[in-house]
A and B are shown apart, each in its own frame.
Chain A
Amino acid sequence: MANKTGENVTLGFFVAAGVVVLIVSLYLIGKNQSMFGSTFHLRARFENVNGLMAGNNIRFSGIQAGTVNKITVIDDTTIEVDLLIEKEMKPFIRDNALVNIGNEGLMGNKVINIIPSRYPGGIITEGALLLSKSTPYPDDMMQTLSLTNDNVEVLSGDLVSTVRRINESKVLWQILNDTTLSEGLRVSMSNLREATVNINNLSASLNSVISDARAGKGTAGALIADDSVATHLKQAISNINNASKESLEVLTKLDSIVSQTQTDLSHGNGIANALLKDPLMVDKVNASIENIQKGTTSFQESMEALKHNFLIRGYFKKQEKKKSKAKK
């Protein structure tokens, strides 16, 4: 009897263990599919669900938040997805959150991601429609990748051509093989360095000049800083303006005189015409000059005669003595 009781106890333990393990396993699986516990519904609409199926996971900021309950085709461009979300997530999901369809890993199942908005929003309500955010689909990505590959192919072709041209360039290789070039470059760099130092010194000097000028030192400073110079300059410019006006008037008068003279010359009138063109006038002038020369000679002879006169001879002797003293 005791043996049978032992058998029964062992059997009971075995059956209980099996049933408990089965129930726990089913509960854990069911819990993952949001079959137990309180949940609420949300909705999201997509143009393309890209293989999403009922039972796929929903994640809120990367945390498991529920499962896809149902997928319904609304029209030819709209598919509505019913989301079964765990109730404990309700306080954290706002009505301005976005949803997109992603992948669990590179080749994993589809997953719906609920992305919280950066801006404040109201608490979500049962059955609310969340805004969907389109994500690049693998096909689109492959197309872009294909385009990128084409571009890379073109670029690599160009690169090969460029490298070949560089390899075939004699001038470039001569430059690269020229050992004196480096020395020349070094000297050039040294000169450049010196020039830079000189430029620095020059700029320092210019700075000094400019600061002196700003301080009112020197001519430039006086020009810049002294107000009276400006006044004088204005006055000088005004005077120059007046002088130029007067010069203009003089030139105008000269112009009229010249034109008058030209008119006289053309008509044979006036003094200028007589001086420049009248041969009789030339003869008269020559005769007058000759008479003057004769008069001057006579005058010199008269004066010589006077020097030898006893009345005034003493005066001339005194004059000669003064001159000789001055020479000594």
Chain B
Amino acid sequence: MKLPFYINNFLSETGSISRFITRFFGQLFHPRYEIRQFIRQCYLIGCLSFPLIAITGFIMGLVLTMQLRPSLIAYGVESQLPIMVSLAIVREIGPVITALIFAGKISSGIGAELGSMKVTEQIDAMEVSGTNPFKYLVVTRVLATTLMLPLLTVLSDVISLYGSYLGVNIKGHTSLQLYFFQVFHTLQFSDVLPALIKTVFFGFAIGIIGCYKGYNSSKGTEGVGRSANAAVVISSLFIFIIDLVTVQITDILGLN
């Protein structure tokens, strides 16, 4: 039976990604460990993404608060603004928006970098020189994205909450102490931990899709651009799919 082209292409792509993931886990626990490269990638992926994440997080908290305020005033529950904003940021908006920004910056960067290395046969050269390119290029980057995104999300949440605090104080007055007391009084482990765990999966998806697209890039420089674009699109889509699955799981576990 011959399947339609797009279905065939989709299934083929899914199978290739699965093989790529399997290969990643296969390489992950076998020496030699590329520690220095991993740390460098953590720096490049984590530290250099922080300013962008911080700015977007700050604006997100501020805007969300200013947008929610009129509705809450209409219901006479303006004092609940810190509680609502903190829950929204920590549970959903913080992780998802941070992951999307991160995907836009990192996944495309990895896709383009590995794609250009592929089309310029640098990866083949590494193999010839005795370096395991998968371990050196893919494992380090995927590990870095997996570990850095949760940290970036935590920092982004805090900056968003500070932005929200400023948003609350634009038309009202709440002390920083009272604001953060209300926030931490509202938050529970069931709010923080599922959100933190899902960012690990977001990070892994962003890294693995970026690496896969770059590592399997072809057709010259045109293919590099296409790989970078596809990496962003697919990793963004994966973020929402993982988010949906996480919400279902936390709901089943009674954590919502």
Contact = CB atoms under 8 A, between A and B. Distances in A.
Interface residues of B, number: 21
Interface stretch (A15-23, A204-212, A279-287): A15-23
Interface in A219-263: none
A7 interface: yes
Nearest to B193: A26
B184 A18 contact: no
Nearest to B189: A29
Nearest to B42: A11
A11 B43 CA distance: 5
B126 interface: no
Contact of B192 (A4, A7, A18, A29): A29
A55 B152 CA distance: 29
A11 B46 contact: yes
A130 to B, nearest CB: 24
Contacts of A10: 43, 47
A175 to B, nearest CB: 49
B158 A21 contact: yes
Interface of A: prevailing SS: helix
A30 B188 CA distance: 8
A10 B40 CA distance: 11
B151 to A, nearest CB: 3
Nearest to A26: B192
A28 B183 CA distance: 10
B50 interface: yes
Name the residue in B39, B77, B152, B154 with the highest tally of chain A Cβ atoms < 10 Å from its Cβ: B154
Contact of A15 (B40, B151, B187, B192): B151
Nearest to A18: B151
A8 B154 contact: no
By Cβ-Cβ distance, the 9 closest A-B pairs, closest first, are A18-B151, A11-B43, A28-B184, A7-B43, A22-B154, A14-B47, A10-B47, A29-B187, A21-B154
Given A21-B158, A22-B150, 11 more contacts: A8-B39, A11-B39, A11-B46, A14-B43, A14-B50, A21-B154, A25-B154, A25-B187, A29-B187, A29-B188, A32-B187
Interface of A: 4, 7-8, 10-11, 14-15, 17-19, 21-22, 25-26, 28-30, 32-33, 55, 107
